[in-house]
Amino acid sequence: MGFFVQLLIQGLSIGFLYAIAALGFVMIFKSSSVLNFAHGQLLAIGAFLFLVVSSWARLPIPLAFLVTLVGCFVLGFIIERLFLRPLIGEALVEVIMMTIGLAYMFRGLLLFIFGGNLFNYPDFLPKHLSIQWGIVNIPPVYMATFIIGIAFLLLFGFFFKYSSQGIYMRSVADNQTAALSLGVHVRRVFALSWAIAAVVCAMSGIILGIIDGINVHQLGDVGLKVFPVVILGGLESIGGAIIGGVVIGLVETFTGGYVSTSLSEVIPYIILVLILLLKPYGLFGLKEIERV
């Protein structure tokens, strides 16, 4: 029973982490219908930027955290302005190919600067975050992931429901033409979507770095797990991304704990294939019906 509870807490923590990463992916897709294949590299950029400002520049951890998030927010604006905005009006496949090109460009730059080595953050999490309950031992990193995940999901919920920019983003996602007619600055919404996506990627990358260390190849591969999450929940559903992340995190953790750690690496993609075969629009996606 103790082992089950420990796996449950770890699975929920990882699930919330996947959910946060998937939120950025879904926001970009909802606002512009673009599948962002550079998502994993944005995770890596955020993780390595935090490494530079916290370990090498030796800024205090709260300040390093703030600098990283602000830096990635600005990076998201730059990416949309320089690389994506010139392609507005072009075929969707060209925009998707651009994101693939960006992914390999960012990957190459990170490998050039940092190499393929594994880096670790300084141990800064307070020890009292750990839970010791009988044979159950939950490390501080999983409790911190759980708390941060809940906080970010609540923050995004309030942002989309009550803030003016969040309402604008929802209107553009629902109907771009109607949003334009109502005076919504659609291009600004696109830029904001990429900026917020870069922030949530940075958040996810930092937490992954605390758990397992940071490596360019590893973080890029973790970014691919966003696809099973968003396909399971539905490409256009923010709530689906949260539920999909929790489900994938739990299934992956319990598979690794009770069956095989090797199988746990591929189980998200097995779920991806099954969902595409049985319910292509995901659990909460909108089914499109075309009438001729």
Q: Is the pLDDT of residue 17 over 60?
A: yes
Q: Is the pLDDT of residue 292 over 70?
A: no
Q: Is the pTM of this model over 0.75?
A: yes
What pLDDT is recorded for position 135? 67
- Cα-based distances in Å from 207 to 70, 98, 288: 17, 28, 36
For residue 136, the cross-strand partners are 133
Please check whether residue 83 lies inside any domain of the structure.
yes
**pLDDT band at 224, cuts 50/70/90?**
confident
d(CA 28, CA 56): 32
Please check whether residue 77 lies inside any domain of the structure.
yes
Amino acid letter, 152:
F
Please check whether residue 92 lies inside any domain of the structure.
yes
172 contacts: CB under 8 Å, gap ≥ 6: 31, 179, 184, 186, 189, 190
d(CA 208, CA 192): 24
Please check whether residue 235 lies inside any domain of the structure.
no
Low-confidence winner among 5-14, 21-30, 137-146 (lowest mean pLDDT) = 137-146
CB of 199 closer than 8 Å to CB of 69 = yes
Q: Is the pLDDT of residue 290 over 60?
A: no
Q: Which of 21, 25, 32, 30 is nearest to 83 (CA)?
A: 32
Please check whether residue 232 lies inside any domain of the structure.
no
Q: What's the number of domains the chain is made of?
A: 1
* pLDDT tens for each residue of 115-166: 888 888 877 777 777 777 766 677 777 777 778 777 877 887 777 777 777 7
3-state helix, strand, coil in the chain (%, to 5): 75, 5, 20
Q: Which domain holds residue 83?
A: 2-223
Distance of CA 139 to the CA centre of its chain: 22
Please check whether residue 287 lies inside any domain of the structure.
no
What pLDDT is recorded for position 227? 86
**pLDDT band at 176, cuts 50/70/90?**
low
Please check whether residue 265 lies inside any domain of the structure.
no
- Average pLDDT of the chain, as a whole number: 82
d(CA 77, CA 194): 6
Please check whether residue 259 lies inside any domain of the structure.
no
Low-confidence winner among 35-49, 57-71, 106-120, 228-242 (lowest mean pLDDT) = 228-242
